[in-house]
């Protein structure tokens, strides 16, 4: 019985560390505030997340890989996000014609812009 425990111990250690690491990943993912994430997942993720059909859009910005990005890349993308949101360039008109419920409301836009501003300031500290 005792030897058996010792033989599975390495396995337990591995499983626990993997679990801890993935927990850490999840925590890292929390740096997009919940309310903003909700807006993004409603209006942006359809094209800008891993697995979406819009290859070019995923390549330009993949929100699921947000945490793996370098700080400079994040600042660059945050700036682009704020620009396209301000100019109503995104989500594209064509997309909105098909899915009008995915349009950004004035409040949504404000929340996104507040986030991009705050996050940029944080990254540039």
Least separation, in Å, of the C-beta of 106 and other proteins? 23
* Cβ-based nearer residue to other proteins, 59 or 97: 59
Distance CA 34, CA 3 (A): 47
What is the C-alpha separation between 12 and 3, in angstroms, rounded? 14
Among the residues of the chain, which ranges form H helices?
2-29, 34-43, 55-60, 71-86, 93-98, 106-124
Least Å distance between CB 26 and other proteins? 27
Q: Tell me whether residue 37 or residue 74 sits nearer to other proteins (CB atom).
A: 74
Q: Rounded to the nearest 10 degrees, how much is the dihedral formed by the CA atoms of 37, 42, 44, 45?
A: 80
What is the smallest separation between the CB atom of 60 and other proteins, expressed in angstroms? 7
d(CA 104, CA 92): 11
Q: Output 44 or 77, the one with its CB closest to other proteins.
A: 77
**Inter-residue contact 96 to 102 (CB < 8 Å):** yes
* Residue numbers at the binding site for other proteins (CB under 8 A): 59-60, 70-73, 75-80, 83, 120, 123-124
CB of 120 to other proteins, least distance (A): 5
Beta carbon nearer to other proteins, 81 or 104: 81
């Amino acid at each position: 019985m005792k030897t058996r425990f010792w033989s599975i111990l390495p396995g337990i250690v591995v499983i626990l560390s993997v679990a801890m690491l993935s927990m850490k990943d999840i925590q890292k993912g929390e740096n997009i505030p919940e309310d903003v994430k909700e807006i993004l997942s409603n209006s942006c993720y359809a094209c800008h997340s891993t697995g979406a059909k819009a290859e070019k859009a995923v390549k330009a910005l993949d929100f699921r890989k947000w945490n793996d990005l370098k700080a400079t890349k994040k600042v660059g993308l945050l700036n682009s996000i704020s620009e396209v949101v301000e100019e109503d360039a995104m989500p594209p008109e064509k997309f909105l014609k098909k899915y009008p419920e995915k349009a950004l409301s004035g409040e949504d836009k404000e929340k996104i812009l507040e986030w991009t501003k705050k996050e940029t300031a944080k990254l540039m500290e």
